[in-house]
Amino acid sequence: MQYFQILKDLQDYCSDYGIVTYLYVIKQALKLIQIGVPILLIVMGAIQLGKMMLSPDDKKATKSLINKFIAAIFVFFTPYIINLIIGILPDSFEISKCWKDAEVIWEEISKD
């Protein structure tokens, strides 16, 4: 009986279990990207900085370091921008409602 209640609650938010699954996976992937990529770019930037210290006349290295810094900032803020854009959309869009509540729905579904 509880399973049918979860399905009814799911229909209040999203029409399909698959949509919730995909949105949950996308949200988790964005979290991993938001954390992992800037760390990777910082490490690569530190290595680049070490190379710049060995050969200070290299102009390409400076530009590469600046590009890595800008990429790290962009990647870090991408999930916030996506959440902001989807948050602005009214709840009349099904994907907007599902996106906002995907983690809560996923926890309810995965309890069983």
Q: Are 75 and 69 in contact (CB under 8 A)?
A: no
Q: Which carries the bigger pLDDT value, residue 106 or residue 78?
A: 78
Given phi > 0 = left and psi -120 to 50 = alpha, else beta, which region is 58? beta
Name the band, by pLDDT with cuts 50, 70 and 90, for residue 94: low
Instruction: Tell me which residue range forms the domain holding 10.
Output: 2-110
Cα(98)–Cα(105) distance, integer angstroms: 8
Region 82-109: what's the mean pLDDT? 73
Residue found under tokens 């309810």: 108
Indicate the number of domains in the chain.
1
Q: Are 93 and 15 in contact (CB under 8 A)?
A: no
Cα(14)–Cα(39) distance, integer angstroms: 35
Average of per-residue pLDDT values in the chain:
76
Q: Are 108 and 12 in contact (CB under 8 A)?
A: no
pTM for the model: 0.63
